[in-house]
Structure 1
Amino acid sequence: MMPRAEPLKDIIADLRMAASFVTIVPVASSKPAADGAVARATWALPVAGLLVGLAGAAAYAVASKLGLAPTTAALLALGTTIFITGALHEDGLADTADGLGGGRTRERKLEIMRDSRIGTYGGCALLLSLGLRWSALAAIANPWAVTLALCAAHAAARAGVPAFMSLVPPARPDGLSASAGSPPGRSVAIAFAIGTLTLALALGPGKALVGLILLSLAGLIVARLAIRQIGGQTGDILGAFEQTGEILILLVAAAFQMGG
């Protein structure tokens, strides 16, 4: 539960903590990152994602105003979101692919995931992630529709992270995910509500429902793989889950856009 005293100050602190947790923006929270503070602040992850999406949308809009092709504008938008997040989630996706794909034992998989070098599985995963997101944005083309799609994708992809952290135990006692702790139910519910609302407002009820179903299935699949292969989740697993969410929502937006 978030403290009742000075609620506005606590909300701002949580927003700053969430932003500093998933972006390179220097807005570190004044709230100590201890005693479950990071876990409680996870409700604000979709808000931080919304800001990342808006940054990418701004890059796309500027590129379009300059007369650049949708393919080029999409690449610049994608590059902007990667820059502002410090490629945090892409790194998690690559490490997860290398670890789960390349290791034979639980210990070896975790060891590979901690290795900063990217292997074949990680390289292929990154190529697929970048290619699918880029092609989806290029297919949407319309700057306003791209804005809505990016906001929906980045908010919704992070909205499920608190629930994932709460339901799937850490794979090891140390590391980013373990140190963050398990989000309380209130943070999980608020994050889910923000993500769902953003999806509905940006894409409409029908597309939002499709997106929620796909995100839920993706969460179940990633959770099952993580538990079976390494015994739980890590920061890299969370990054892979976020990337999967981004891809799915952008593909939903592109598919409906192309379908009229």
Structure 2
Amino acid sequence: MRYQLELFLTALGFFTRIPVPAWVPWSPERLNHAARYFPLVGWVVGGVGAGAFLALALVLPVSLAVILSMAVTIRLTGAFHEDGWADTCDGLGGGWDKAQVLTIMKDSRIGSYGTVGMVLMLLAKAAALVELAAHGQLAVAAALLAAHPLSRLASTSLIHWLPYVREDESSKSKPLARALRPGELAAAALFGLAPLALLAPLEALGALLAVAALTVWTARIFLRRLGGYTGDLLGAAQQGTELACYLGILAAWNYT
């Protein structure tokens, strides 16, 4: 049980700015095995985001509460996934071949594709959450609690199904370059899918279908353009599928 707790804290320390106890050992192998808990980290991020939104909505307009709660989660994660989204936009938008795409994504500077992509992503997520708030503040909280774990499950599935394409050992995501064992994948699926119970059945179905469709589509693009995934692409997949979850819920509402 202690080992499992250490793996979860390893994942929490890697993907957030939350300090972990000094007694938690770290190694690339442990981070590799911690992949099963990546969606569980989404519980923490989604919970903080939902709590921040509900607290801020008591004293501020909903639109501002949404934006500030997004800022809280970005601060909590150190913009880890947002950075991957921006780098992916730059790489896939400006690169012609695999080598050029990887070089662009490795560049710490943000380009025009990354800037536009980041602005549009943040605007889209804010607009979607404001639309969700039309059905009540608890609808926003439930969406945040479901979207963060589910989107991290989507990224974890790419680790399992796709090969890792960067060869440099300095890459932060190099320790993750291993397919999950069946038990690890089942645990990740449980942690990623369980929060869908907070949604109505049709909402959960809409979110699940939207996330699954986008995950398959991005996997095809990553394979066609690069032959696999990088850490930046995993971050981009998390951002895209988080938005897809919100859109799936809204589509379910419009359908009914």
Same fold (TM over 0.5): yes
User: Could you tell me the percent identity over the aligned residues?
Assistant: 34
- What is the match of residue 202 of structure 1? 198
Number of residue pairs the alignment of both structures matches: 250
- What is the match of residue 4 of structure 1? none
Q: TM-score, normalised by structure 1?
A: 0.90
**DSSP 3-state at the match of 2:110:** coil
Cα distance, 1:257 vs. partner? 5.1
Is 2:231 the counterpart of 1:238?
A: no
CA contact (8 A) 1:99 1:113 kept: yes
Is 2:48 the counterpart of 1:55?
A: yes
Pairing of 1:118-157 with structure 2 (within 5 A): 118-141=110-133, 142-157=136-151
Cα distance, 1:255 vs. partner? 4.0
Deviations for 1:216-245, whole angstroms, at most 9, x for unmatched residues? 221121111112212210000000000011
Between stretches 80-89 and 19-28, larger displacement belongs to 19-28
**DSSP 3-state at the match of 1:122:** helix
Superposed CA RMSD in Å reads 1.7
1:167 to 154, 161, 168: 161
- What is the match of residue 65 of structure 2? 73
Cα distance, 1:149 vs. partner? 0.6
- What is the match of residue 244 of structure 2? 248
Tell me the distance in 1 between the aligned counterparts of 2:157 and 2:131.
31
Taking a change above 3 Å as real, the CA distance of residues 25 and 57 of structure 1, as seen in their structure-2 partners, is same
The one-letter code matched in structure 2 to 1:161 is S
The one-letter code matched in structure 1 to 2:182 is G
Segments of 5+ residues of structure 2 without an aligned counterpart are: none
2:104 to 112, 121, 131: 112
Displaced runs of 4+ in structure 1, greater than 6 A? none
CA contact (8 A) 1:140 1:257 kept: no
CA contact (8 A) 1:176 1:234 kept: no
CA contact (8 A) 2:32 2:175 kept: no
CA contact (8 A) 2:210 2:244 kept: yes
Cα distance, 1:162 vs. partner? 2.2
Tell me the distance in 2 between the aligned counterparts of 1:97 and 1:82.
18
Segments of 5+ residues of structure 1 without an aligned counterpart are: 1-7
**DSSP 3-state at the match of 2:173:** helix
Tell me the distance in 2 between the aligned counterparts of 1:24 and 1:258.
37
- What is the match of residue 189 of structure 2? 192
Q: TM-score, normalised by structure 2?
A: 0.92
Deviations for 1:10-56, whole angstroms, at most 9, x for unmatched residues? 1211110111121111116723323x321221111111111111111
Tell me the distance in 2 between the aligned counterparts of 1:79 and 1:26.
19
Tell me the distance in 2 between the aligned counterparts of 1:209 and 1:139.
19
CA contact (8 A) 1:140 1:146 kept: yes
Tell me the distance in 2 between the aligned counterparts of 1:184 and 1:39.
11
- What is the match of residue 31 of structure 1? 25
Cα distance, 1:259 vs. partner? 6.6
Between stretches 146-155 and 220-229, larger displacement belongs to 220-229
- What is the match of residue 83 of structure 2? 91
Cα distance, 1:209 vs. partner? 2.2
Taking a change above 3 Å as real, the CA distance of residues 259 and 64 of structure 1, as seen in their structure-2 partners, is farther
CA contact (8 A) 1:162 1:187 kept: no
The one-letter code matched in structure 1 to 2:155 is V
Tell me the distance in 2 between the aligned counterparts of 1:135 and 1:210.
18
